[in-house]
């Protein structure tokens, strides 16, 4: 009996930790008495109750997207996938209104319905500041959406994509084939690994570095201003960083982070887009450069048109208008320029 109890104890303990890690984080001490008491208590409820308590995620009828002012509830039609990888809890939900959506650690990543807006805006805006061949690095973005859009430009000669989690790539290939469609393109090279370590060890230089990262946990160090200094070492002379920043609002605390990063670069510009499925309805990207004067650089629109790129949201007019913010936010941004 002791062995049976031990087996049961360990089997369920690992399952419980997987679920709890996403809620309370890695820093929690599973060895302490309070945790053991809690664990024994739910074990004593028997297997079906144990699963009911722990597996609540699979029963959720709504996915909640918090905004600054209220919560959005997306009704879930079906839970297609819900598994903790080595790094994060990855969920794929099927919904009526937004199609399939990807959620990581409870945080909404994209929906089939409007992923094109995010991916087109994050890829085409920076690329159009370049007339020559481009060597690009994508950190994060394992779903493949930024790579797909970037590879529509024939002057992209190579993309290195570094994502920490091979499960995101696999899940995207299985559930989001339209987003991950570029993985068989020979110009795209996938590395599974931590973006920080890649940046510290590579000898390559890049014209565009795209930071398409999650907002929490294993991406925290890559949102720190010191990381941006490290990026400079792997940038070509005329280069740009594009960063998925936040959904900026008047009272956004993130504006303070911008002022810290801005000190290290000569030019910084934010641009905005409308994405209904993201909390707040808008999303802001940031461009950083030491050599490209983003605001004043004339874009060769004839070159862009000659590429015959298919897009649903991005256009030269949208590009130019995306740098215009509501007055109150414009005033805030102006203070850090």
Residues in contact with ligand SAM by the rule CB under 6 A: 109-110, 118, 139-143, 162-165, 168, 194-196, 212-215, 218-219, 222, 244
- Kindly list the distances between the CA atom of residue 103 and the CA atoms of 67, 92, 253, 288, in Å, as whole numbers in the listed order: 16, 6, 23, 28
Structure tokens at 173: 């290939």
Least distance CB 198 / ligand SAM (angstroms): 8
Which C-beta is closer to ligand SAM: that of 93 or that of 139?
139
Which C-beta is closer to ligand SAM: that of 110 or that of 304?
110
* Distant-in-sequence, close-in-space partners of 52: CB < 8 Å, separation ≥ 6: none
Which C-beta is closer to ligand SAM: that of 16 or that of 171?
171
Which C-beta is closer to ligand SAM: that of 109 or that of 282?
109
Alpha-carbon distance of 189 to 183, in angstroms, equals: 8
Residue number closest to ligand SAM, CB atom: 140
Annotated active-site positions, please? 212
- Check: CB of residue 99 under 8 Å from CB of residue 296: no
Least distance CB 291 / ligand SAM (angstroms): 26
Helix ranges restricted to H, the chain: 2-24, 33-43, 47-54, 115-127, 145-150, 166-175, 195-201, 225-232, 254-262, 301-306, 316-321, 327-336
Alpha-carbon distance of 193 to 163, in angstroms, equals: 6
Alpha-carbon distance of 71 to 1, in angstroms, equals: 48
């Amino acid at each position: 009996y002791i062995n049976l109890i031990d087996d049961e104890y360990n089997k369920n303990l690992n399952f419980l930790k997987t679920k709890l890690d996403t809620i309370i984080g890695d820093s929690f001490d599973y060895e302490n008495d309070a945790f053991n008491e809690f664990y024994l208590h739910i074990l004593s409820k028997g297997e079906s109750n144990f699963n009911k308590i722990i597996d609540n995620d699979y029963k959720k009828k709504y996915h909640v997207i918090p905004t600054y002012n209220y919560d959005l509830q997306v009704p879930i039609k079906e839970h297609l996938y819900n598994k903790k990888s080595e790094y994060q809890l990855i969920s794929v939900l099927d919904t009526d209104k937004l199609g399939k959506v990807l959620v990581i650690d409870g945080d909404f990543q994209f929906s089939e319905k409007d992923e094109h807006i995010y991916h087109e805006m994050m890829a085409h805006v920076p690329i159009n500041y370049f007339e020559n061949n481009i060597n690009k690095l994508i950190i994060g973005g394992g779903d493949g959406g930024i790579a797909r859009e970037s590879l529509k430009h024939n002057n992209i000669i190579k993309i290195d994509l570094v994502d920490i989690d091979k499960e995101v790539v696999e899940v995207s290939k299985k559930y989001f084939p339209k987003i991950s469609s570029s993985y068989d393109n020979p110009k795209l090279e996938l590395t599974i690994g931590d973006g920080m370590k890649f940046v510290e060890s590579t000898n390559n230089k890049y014209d565009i570095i795209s930071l398409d990262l999650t907002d929490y946990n294993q991406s925290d160090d890559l949102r720190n201003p010191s990381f941006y200094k490290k990026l400079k070492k792997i940038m070509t002379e005329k280069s740009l960083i594009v960063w998925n920043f936040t959904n900026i609002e008047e009272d956004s605390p993130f504006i303070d982070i911008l002022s810290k990063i801005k000190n290290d670069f000569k030019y910084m510009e934010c641009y905005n887009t409308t994405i209904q499925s993201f909390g707040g309805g808008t999303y802001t990207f940031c461009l950083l450069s030491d050599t490209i004067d983003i605001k004043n650089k004339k874009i060769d629109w004839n070159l862009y048109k000659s590429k015959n790129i298919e897009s649903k949201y991005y256009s030269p007019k949208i590009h130019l208008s995306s740098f215009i913010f509501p007055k109150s936010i414009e005033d805030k941004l102006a203070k850090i320029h």
